[in-house]
Amino acid sequence: MSFGNQTPTIVVLKEGTDQSQGRGQIISNINACLAIQETLKPTLGPLGSDILIVNSQGKTTISNDGATILKLLDVVHPAAKTLVDISRAQDSEVGDGTTSVTILASELMKEAKPFLEEGISSHIITKAYRNALNLCIKKINELAVDITASGTENKRNRQSLENCARTAMSSKLIANNADFFIKMVVDAVLSLDPNDMDEKMIGIKKIPGGSMEDSLFVDGVAFPKTFSYAGFEQQPKKFKAPKILSLNIELELKAEKDNAEVRVENVEEYQAIVDAEWQIILNKLKQIEATGANIVLSKLPIGDLATQFFADRNIFCAGRVSDDDMQRVIKAVGGSIQSTTTDIDPQTHLGTCSTFEEVQIGSERYNLFKGCPNAKTCTLLLRGGAEQVIAEVERSLHDAIMIVKRAVQNKLIVAGGGAIEMELSKYLRDYSKTIAGKQQLIINGYAKALEIIPRQLSENAGFDATDILNRLRMAHSKGEKWYGVDFSSESVGDNFNTFVWEPALVKINALSSATEAANLIFSVDETITNKQNDSGQITGMMPPGRGRGVPMQ
């Protein structure tokens, strides 16, 4: 049968555009995320394995840090990139739990997959997951213990922070050297300004050679010897209570012919110009000497003339100091960075510390400022046999520092080792029995997904995961809320009493990020991948549609 007025075919998308939509597309996206989960699963926990990643330039990285691995994997699937984003967000927000949040998000999707295949709307699943998340956050806040509640003594607070640091390090390369690094991490965090707790004020320097326990904690600032000219070796390398001047001035003899055209008619005029050039730099140096400074630091170069001038007067100088190091020096010793030498007030513009010395560490020489009066900063000098080892030590310490920082700021902790996840799982199962309909099944699925953490911890340790989970379910049903995987006894135990502690904020942030990521994947039911054009650019469009997001590749 034909009609006279047939609607013509309308071509909206460019030829070659790949358009996938519907429930099958959501399942496909979930499968992509599960592939990422399989990669990260073996790295979870104290007995998790490391992954060796080689990039296109042949550079190798050995790590079990979730955010680092995902960043280096170069994920191209648009949906799976969501997991990379939540891992990075977890890393920047709380510092640890990057592997947990990715595994948890993938497991939440895995549990929802059967419901989607049976035809349940993704909006119903999203609503149930949000409800479950709110219940979990409320329960964590009820269960969390204030580490200052049992005593406000500094000693007890420090012990609590050390316990949090130990837990954060348990799954890292430095686990065997934890006793050595725990003190370093807690000292570093407690040295920060309590008002802003800026972790950038903790300087980390990597020096190849030696063992990990040759690493040093400096209660001030340390940076490697900067580029220096002849005369530097004649300068003193140790001071007691020095006066420190920080500059942003180039102290080099500059020929004015580089900056301007100069015409001279006789030798005397040329000599006057040369003398003027020398006089400009000498006036600056004499003004610096007049301040009484023993140490002169500058972000810009300090030339050979200035270096020799300072050496003759027993003044130490260092030019081309990096901006980060200079900011930390100011924070530690006091004073301020000067951009001119004409108006320096020794009382307000100069800083000081108890001792300064230049020491040999490994193959490099370092300038150390110790005993700083305003010490709101510190420096960790990390040693190790290989660059990859030192890089992983740095990542491990970063996670521990962030955990301790969050514990200082929030003071609420929960037991780790899968204990809090099992308690939340039990709570959600009990809650699901009080409601009817599809929500009951979906929230029960959320509860089952939480068990992936203790299950994977057990599998990575080589335990019987089914047996461990059954014991944990039994213990939590009897009210043992802090029971989790005990690696020392290869069984289950009270992880709160064995000081396996984590800040409650880490768990709340991980659950929130994982749930939001899962819900985002459920809401995307169409993916449009546009054909690459001749110029190498990818063009795309987003179709209209309520509740439909379209990631572009």
Backbone angles phi, psi at 381, to 5 degrees: -100, 105
Fold match between 18-145+415-529 and 148-219+381-410? no
The 10 Å CB-count burial string (b at 16+, else e) for 493-523 is bbbbebbbbbbbbbbbbbbbbbbbbbbbbbe
Q: Which amino acid is at 391?
A: A
pLDDT per residue, tens digit, the chain (553 aa), is: 455 555 555 555 455 444 455 567 788 888 888 888 888 888 887 787 888 888 888 888 888 778 888 888 877 787 788 888 888 888 777 777 788 889 999 999 999 989 988 888 889 999 999 999 999 999 999 998 887 654 444 445 778 888 888 888 877 777 788 888 888 888 888 888 777 777 788 888 888 888 888 888 888 888 888 887 888 888 888 888 888 898 888 888 766 556 666 677 777 777 777 777 788 888 888 888 888 888 999 998 888 888 888 899 899 988 898 888 888 888 888 888 888 888 888 888 888 888 899 888 888 888 888 887 776 788 888 888 788 888 888 888 888 888 888 888 778 888 888 899 999 999 999 999 998 888 899 999 999 999 999 999 899 888 898 999 999 999 999 988 889 998 888 888 888 888 888 888 889 988 999 999 899 888 876 666 666 554 444 444 444 444 444 444 3
* Residue the block writes with tokens 């939001």: 516
What CA–CA distance (Å, rounded) separates 48 from 501? 18
Q: Say if residues 43 and 50 touch (Cβ distance below 8 Å).
A: yes
The pair of three-digit structure tokens given for residue 475, joined into one six-digit string: 């213990």
The torsion angle over the Cα atoms of residues 285, 287, 290 and 291, rounded to 10 degrees, is -100
Alpha helices in 120-266 (DSSP H): 122-143, 154-169, 178-190
Q: Is 526 strand, coil or helix?
A: strand
At the topology level, CATH places domain 18-145+415-529 in: GROEL; domain 1 (1.10.560)
Backbone angles phi, psi at 313, to 5 degrees: -115, 15
Q: What was the pLDDT predicted at 178?
A: 82
**Distances in whole angstroms, Cα of residue 220 to Cα of each of 198, 213, 217, 377:** 15, 20, 9, 6
Backbone angles phi, psi at 208, to 5 degrees: -60, 145
Q: Which amino acid is at 354?
A: S
What CA–CA distance (Å, rounded) separates 545 from 553? 19
Check the CA dihedral 393-396-401-404 and report its sign: negative
Spatial CB neighbours of 130, under 8 Å, sequence gap ≥ 6: 515, 519
Burial of residue 439 (number of CB atoms within 10 Å: 0-12, 13-18, 19+):
middle
Q: Say if residues 333 and 353 touch (Cβ distance below 8 Å).
A: yes
Q: What is the end-to-end Cα distance of the chain in Å, rounded?
A: 42
| pTM of the full structure | 0.71
The pair of three-digit structure tokens given for residue 551, joined into one six-digit string: 């990631």
Residues shown for the chain: 553
Q: Is 517 strand, coil or helix?
A: helix
The string of DSSP letters for 230-245 reads TTGGGS--EEES-EEE
Alpha helices in 41-73 (DSSP H): 66-73
Q: Say if residues 539 and 14 touch (Cβ distance below 8 Å).
A: yes
Burial of residue 16 (number of CB atoms within 10 Å: 0-12, 13-18, 19+):
exposed
Q: Is 145 strand, coil or helix?
A: strand
What residues does 414 pair with on adjacent strands?
Answer: 502
**Distances in whole angstroms, Cα of residue 533 to Cα of each of 109, 537, 539, 540, 542:** 34, 6, 8, 11, 18
Q: Which amino acid is at 137?
A: I
Nearest Cα residue to 418 out of 171, 69, 244: 171
Q: Say if residues 256 and 278 touch (Cβ distance below 8 Å).
A: no
Q: Which amino acid is at 4?
A: G
Q: What was the pLDDT predicted at 547?
A: 43
What CATH architecture is 221-374?
3-Layer(bba) Sandwich (3.50)
Helix and strand totals (H; E) in the chain: 17, 21
Q: What was the pLDDT predicted at 89?
A: 84
What CATH architecture is 148-219+381-410?
2-Layer Sandwich (3.30)
What CA–CA distance (Å, rounded) separates 7 from 9? 7
Nearest Cα residue to 99 out of 486, 510, 432, 416: 510
* Residue the block writes with tokens 């994947």: 521
Domain ranges of the chain: 18-145+415-529, 148-219+381-410, 221-374
Check the CA dihedral 392-395-401-404 and report its sign: negative
Rg of the chain in Å (alpha carbons): 30
